[in-house]
Amino acid sequence: MLNLSKYRVIEIGTAVSMPLCSAVLGNLGAEVIKIESKQKLDGNRIRIPKKDASGPLGTMETFPLLHDLNPGKKSVTINLKSPDGRRIFIDLLKDADIFIQNFAPGWLQRIDLGPDVLAGINPRLIMMFASGYGQSGPLSPTRVYATIMSGIGGLEGLVGEENGDVAGLVATAFGDPNSAYFGVLEVLSALYARERSGKGCLIDLSQIEAIATVLGEGIIEWQATGNVPGPVGNSSRWLAPHGIYPCAGDDRWVAISVANEDEWGALKRTMAADGCAWPAEERFTDMPHRLRHRKELDDLVSGWTIGQNDRLLSERLQAEGVRCSPVLTIDELETDAHTVARGFLQQVDHPMLGPMQITSTPWLFDGVRPKVNGVGPMLGSSNREVLGGLLGLSEAEIARYEQEGILA
């Protein structure tokens, strides 16, 4: 399995994208030191508290996403506005392999620590700078967040009702995890290159450009036909039936996608066994016919699925070779037998909050899932370990820095 245990990551991250990027590197074995400030807390430390939060932490640091994004990291508090704070930060970077940050472009230059300066301090340093528009260009200083990124990137305009009303992905901040995994790929590529050249580099990641890279079908449709694609609901321009269909019970659904005539034949046989004669009609003969009559087809499929149990129907259709799955709620995903069997969710213990479920990386190496190394760190909990152990500061020096607000 890929092992990054010889590498050290310094992260100054906020929100989701780059904290997740460094979390994945940490799950792969890297040591991750998270630089924070008590003056401006990571928003995930003070967001929606865990529903049963209590004890000495109160509601602080109990937001589950904090721990999903920061498992096993070491938290060090440094006031980078102070000369001593910047010196401590520079000392940490001297022996680091990777520096990750996702604040608005220009902030490091304002404290005289731009990328050229950092490269001079440590020529082997790989710097991952992620932002909405990237580090250059007229809009580079513009701040973006969540659906703003996916809106500007073109994704939101493809999500909505078939009548053209855009709904967007308001329930998910797609741009953040998408750019996080692009970031992991780029860091690993840079490490590979550094093993040969001995030199670090600056990676300029535009989160909006990262979103555009996943819009292949929409971009190709516009380039090939001149038509600007818009929302199509749950349907497909190329496949039928394809969508989310209602099942028996309260808000129960299945996803069905038929990609070829063999799969349509299997679905027809299953429906015929339940007494449905309409699949044999000429208007549903092949894919072009079904696409022309897609609305009628979806209504008829819905009429058949609505009396079925979602899980039993999925198992039945999968056994026949039809792509079908139940639409799980978030709580069902956590307890789903397949998810549990693959070890995607792992239990770790927080010193004050007790057992917590943390997501690992969505892959296995030779059948082995990367291990989650712990929960998110408590604010500043590694000050002494890192500053004393790595930098050799004495207890008296650390105490003085705390008193003077340098470690704040």
The domains located in the chain, with CATH, are 8-213+341-403 (3.40.50.10540), 242-246+253-326 (3.30.1540.10)
Contacts of 319 (CB under 8 A, 6+ apart): none
Per-residue pLDDT of 92-142, as tens digits, reads 999 999 999 999 999 999 999 999 999 999 999 999 999 999 999 998 998
CA dist., res. 14 & res. 12, Å (int): 7
Residue 52 has pLDDT above 70, yes or no: no
Per-residue pLDDT of 273-302, as tens digits, reads 999 999 999 999 999 999 999 999 999 999
Residue 67: per-residue pLDDT: 93
Is the CB of residue 243 less than 8 Å from the CB of residue 304? no
CA dist., res. 103 & res. 286, Å (int): 52
Q: Which helix (H) or strand (E) is 65 found in, with range?
A: helix 64-69
* Cα separations in angstroms, 181 against 25, 205, 210, 325: 10, 11, 10, 26
Q: Cα torsion at 114, 115, 117, 122 (round to 10°)?
A: 140
Please, what is the end-to-end C-alpha distance for the chain in angstroms? 38
Half-sphere CA count of 323, side-chain side, radius 13 A: 13
Q: Which helix (H) or strand (E) is 390 found in, with range?
A: none
Per-residue pLDDT of 69-97, as tens digits, reads 999 999 999 999 999 999 999 999 999 99
CA geometry: angle at 344 spanning 235 and 334, to 5°? 65
CA dist., res. 260 & res. 284, Å (int): 12
Residue 51: per-residue pLDDT: 64
One-letter amino acid for residue 219 of the chain: I
